[in-house]
Structure 1
Amino acid sequence: MPSVVAMMLDQLDPRAGDDILEIGAGTGYNAALLAELVDRGSVTTVDIYSDVALHARTRLNATRYEHVTVIERDGLLGAPENAPYDGIIATVGVWDIPTIWWNQLKDGGRLVLPLRWRGQTRSVALTRNGDQLVSDGMELCGFVPIIGQHGEKTSPLNTDDTIRVHYDQDQDVDPDGLAATVQTGKPALEMPSAQRVGGEEPFDGVWLRATAGDDRVCRLEVTPQALEQELLRRPAIPVRSPAIVEDNFLAYLTITREGTHAERPFRLGAAAYGPQAEELARDLVAHIDAWGSDRLAVPRMTVAPAGCASTAGHVIAKPESRITLTY
């Protein structure tokens, strides 16, 4: 979407004379915009697919951007031949930040990437400060995952594969146990929060808030077929709702229309399944209410290479990086 392109370029904040690396060439359009923004600087774009790289090269040549460098390569390797860079921008979903990218980014340089953790994706803007990357903004987005990273797992919770849970490799999830719990046919335990929202009011910050302190947070996906069959209580956003998973128990975000408030007619809450349903529902409602106390708050993300000491806050460890979130 043009709005997402503009948002991420704004996060990168490229200046005249900057050297920029783009991971994911696409049509070449974003590289052309970058070439305009950096003026006398340079733009290098890489793509793992030969046909995509060729198409980008062809279109850039046709529109007089021959000076943009296009390389057919695995984006996880970057482009060391033109490094170091003032900015690196990824236009594919990234689950872990490769150490190779660190080595190609100048100290003080900017890294903007759609970072994936706990089932969500945020376009995070980070500035390198020695052995740390520190965020100054993050926005909701969605991108196709980069090829070569396998830290995210997906498991069906029913035989028709119409209900799925998405989680990270470090999370203790028992898909078979969850499937047995969901398929009992018992109604969900429902628990409302104190938070109401308007029809156009975003509430994705609930997910973000929850990941800053709870390692049980993941993503629930429910297909239209499962909704038609009423296999479980409808999630707030069926294709991507935050959930808490522990042992064989599941709680997830719901939204219910109530006619008692004109400006905010929808109430957020939790639906939960399993013997500890009430406990998990209370935990999720606590996350919802914490978000409701400051709905526009965004956590600070600090990223360090794996093995480095972390700053104070909630740590999510990945093979090549350690992510710390603090409010």
Structure 2
Amino acid sequence: MTDVTADPDRAAQLRDQIVDTLIADGTIVSKPVETAMRAVPRHQFAPDASMDEVYSAYNAVFTKKDEHGVIMSSVSAPQIQAMMLEQAGIEPGMRVLEVGSGGYNAALIAELVGASGEVTTVDIDPEVTDRAARLLAGAGYTRVRVVCADATDGVPAYGLYDRIVVTAGAWDIPPAWVSQLTAGGRLVVPLRMRGLTRSIAFDRAGDHLTSVSAQVCGFVPMQGAGAHREELLLVTGTGEIGLRFDDGLPADPSRLDNAVRTPRAETWSGVLIGRQEPFDTLQLYLATVLDGFCIMAVDPDLDTGLVAPANRWFCMAAVDGGSFAYVTTRRTADEASVEFGVHALGPDAVALAERVAEQIRTWERERRSGPGPVIRVYPADTPDDQLPDGRVIDKQHCRISISWPAATAA
């Protein structure tokens, strides 16, 4: 027995502390979400975890790993769950489908829909659904339906749904997730676009979806038919530097073979940002305007200093022909902020570094103070002339359009 299950009163106290923290940081903004998160005993859905693990506002609890240690299932961090429930706007009496089962989030949804609503949770892994069903029943949420199936097809037996909440990282939007929504229904999904994942709330309008909010997040990736692997391009023979592409490698990746043999070009943008200030719109903006956008990672065990990213695990980058560039930062004199810069390697390194830096300056002038883009999802056979202006990302089942509003002064 863990310390949490041994002392439920202490667990309830810690649960209230988490909710108070999430109210203070602006994650929880509605009374229904607050009430649900105070009511559901989170510790009963992670019985093997310690008190510190279960009752941390910003950390997930991992419940299943494969033989290589890769996370297969988890109870998401309370902050992420509260954020997505606020995005979903679930009301009493609604019919809700949850894609990705763990038990705890389905219990929160059950609290939100009340006795007159319906909750169905689906997962491809029978071990996960068996565990979720057992834990839900033990916590008293016997009305939640638990279905073992590949969620690519949705769960048509119990739809149409007012809300579909996806709790696994998705690369694509299968048609069933749109067709099984009611008119005006909402899909909340952690969607990966060009290597960036955002929890996006989409409202249905006919055959397509339009975003109403987007928040930074990270999730265990989808399994089954919806699984999708990024492609990795190693630009050094040792594997020191890897470039991850979400939608296919460059046309001739061998052109990068000698990029690291050239001197590193460095340019600085003059754009400053506070150390704790989010810059997720910059990430989306560069992913929109740079054709060769990708994510760079450096193996710390093989790092020779050829590149110097601010974050070796996740760094915005771009490829153009035989050159590649990446975004980094340097400290300012007052150390209260950092400055964005660009490093590049390859025969056109100087020009590429300056082009990327100029896009950072454009973001500063026109996008930093304004709203983020509108993201729309259309059927895969939608012609180009029926799509709005902006970056179009083609997936297997859909076409995603990222459109920025009119520029605003910084």
Q: Normalized against structure 1, the TM-score is what?
A: 0.92
Match of 1:295 in 2: 368
Matches within 5 A, 1:107-126: 107-126=183-202
User: Retained in 2: the 8 A contact 1:244–1:251?
Assistant: yes
Match of 2:307 in 1: 233
Match of 1:49 in 2: 125
Distance 1:235 1:269, change over 3 A: same
Q: Which of 226, 247, 268 is 2:340 aligned to?
A: 268
Whole-angstrom distance in 1 between the partners of 2:252 and 2:113 = 49
Please, which runs of 5 or more residues in structure 1 have no aligned partner? none
- Letter of the 1:37 counterpart: L
Q: Which of 330, 350, 355 is 1:256 aligned to?
A: 330
- Letter of the 2:308 counterpart: R
- Letter of the 1:189 counterpart: A
Whole-angstrom distance in 1 between the partners of 2:257 and 2:195 = 18
Q: Which of 240, 244, 255 is 1:177 aligned to?
A: 255
Structure having greater relative contact order (Cα 8 Å, sep ≥ 6): 1
- Letter of the 1:288 counterpart: I
- Letter of the 2:112 counterpart: L
Whole-angstrom distance in 2 between the partners of 1:201 and 1:133 = 30
- Letter of the 2:311 counterpart: I
- Letter of the 1:307 counterpart: D
Question: Are residues 1:283 and 2:336 paired?
Answer: no
Question: Are residues 1:131 and 2:190 paired?
Answer: no
Q: What is the RMSD of the two structures over their aligned residues, measured on CA atoms? A: 1.7
Instruction: Answer 1 or 2: which has greater helix percent.
Output: 2
SS at match of 2:286: helix
Question: Are residues 1:103 and 2:179 paired?
Answer: yes
- Tell me by how many angstroms 1:295 deviates: 2.2
Match of 1:215 in 2: 291
SS at match of 1:244: strand
Question: Are residues 1:65 and 2:65 paired?
Answer: no
Question: Are residues 1:307 and 2:381 paired?
Answer: yes
- Tell me by how many angstroms 1:57 deviates: 0.6
Which structure has the bigger radius of gyration? 2
Whole-angstrom distance in 2 between the partners of 1:282 and 1:14 = 46
Question: Are residues 1:29 and 2:101 paired?
Answer: no
- Letter of the 2:175 counterpart: T
- Tell me by how many angstroms 1:314 deviates: 2.2
Whole-angstrom distance in 2 between the partners of 1:160 and 1:31 = 45
Instruction: Answer 1 or 2: which has greater strand percent.
Output: 1
- Tell me by how many angstroms 1:290 deviates: 2.3
Whole-angstrom distance in 1 between the partners of 2:197 and 2:251 = 20
Whole-angstrom distance in 2 between the partners of 1:159 and 1:50 = 41
Whole-angstrom distance in 2 between the partners of 1:158 and 1:46 = 42
For residues 234-279 of structure 1, give each alpha carbon's deviation from its aligned partner in whole angstroms, at most 9, with x where no partner exists.
Answer: 21322111111122210011101121x4642x11010001011122
Whole-angstrom distance in 2 between the partners of 1:105 and 1:86 = 6
For residues 105-137 of structure 1, give each alpha carbon's deviation from its aligned partner in whole angstroms, at most 9, with x where no partner exists.
Answer: 111010111110111111111100001201111
Whole-angstrom distance in 2 between the partners of 1:29 and 1:142 = 18
Whole-angstrom distance in 2 between the partners of 1:319 and 1:194 = 40
Whole-angstrom distance in 2 between the partners of 1:226 and 1:120 = 25
- Tell me by how many angstroms 1:302 deviates: 1.3
Match of 2:241 in 1: 163
Match of 1:82 in 2: 158
The sequence identity of aligned pairs, in percent, is: 38
- Tell me by how many angstroms 1:213 deviates: 2.7
